[in-house]
Amino acid sequence: MSPREAHLERRTTETDIELTLRLDGAGEAEVSTGIGMLDHLLCTLARHGGLDLRLRCSGDLHVDDHHTAEDCGLALGQAVDDALGERRGIGRFGWAYAPLDEALARAVVDLSGRPWAEVSLGLESERLGQLSAHMVAHVLRSMATRMRAAVHVDVLRGVDDHHRAEAAFKALALALRQAVTLTGGDTVPSTKGIL
């Protein structure tokens, strides 16, 4: 079987992104977005998802963090979709819980081909480092849209917003890892015959 990889370049007037992704990786990541907390969350996703990720983004951070965070989520979702191809022989579904000290997050993924995101993080801070707190959920929604997946992420408890956000990305990583796993078959896991 050929490697499940994707490479993309996304250039707009707001961001310039280059991204390489390998689904069957070792969890190695090199991420540089200009937003430390975003780098941290994406590296966490790669590490616990078993993804090899190289992502470089130069964005209009003089405006704010919105375009950079959103476009990185879109690009990563697109790369997962591209690397999956026809989605033959994958598990399709994944679910996981991940704790981080007092925080506990749950993520459920269906690589259905139908984008949907339900995200409830309960963040109360305005910012996590240089990342606007509301952008954490927006990144997850952007990924789900371009990944063409139903994604549900809920933080069930937690006090520290850094822990809540990181637990959410860890849970998503574990669920995604399960969903993209090859089952040994060659069929598309759907009664429709396509995903």
Domain ranges of the chain: 5-180
3 state DSSP class of 185:
coil
Distance CA 148, CA 139 (A): 14
Q: In this structure, are residues 14 and 71 in contact, taking their beta carbons and an 8 Å threshold?
A: yes
Tell me the per-residue pLDDT of 39-93, one tens digit each, with 9 for 90 and over: 999 999 999 999 999 999 999 999 999 999 999 999 999 999 999 999 999 999 9
pLDDT over 70 at 37, yes or no: yes
Fold of the CATH domain 5-180: Ribosomal Protein S5; domain 2 (3.30.230)
Question: Which residues, 6 or more positions from 153, have their beta carbon under 8 angstroms from its beta carbon?
Answer: 105, 106, 107, 117, 118, 119, 120, 121, 140, 168, 171, 172
Tell me the per-residue pLDDT of 10-25, one tens digit each, with 9 for 90 and over: 999 999 999 999 999 9
Residue 1: per-residue pLDDT: 56
Residue given tokens 């964005």 in the structure block: 59
- H-helix or E-strand containing 52? strand 52-59
Average model confidence (pLDDT) for the chain?
97
Tell me the C-alpha to C-alpha distance, in Å, between residue 141 and each of 9, 144, 169: 20, 5, 12
Residue 2: per-residue pLDDT: 73
CB neighbour class for 185 (10 Å; exposed up to 12, middle 13-18, buried from 19):
exposed
> Percentage of the chain surpassing pLDDT 90?
96
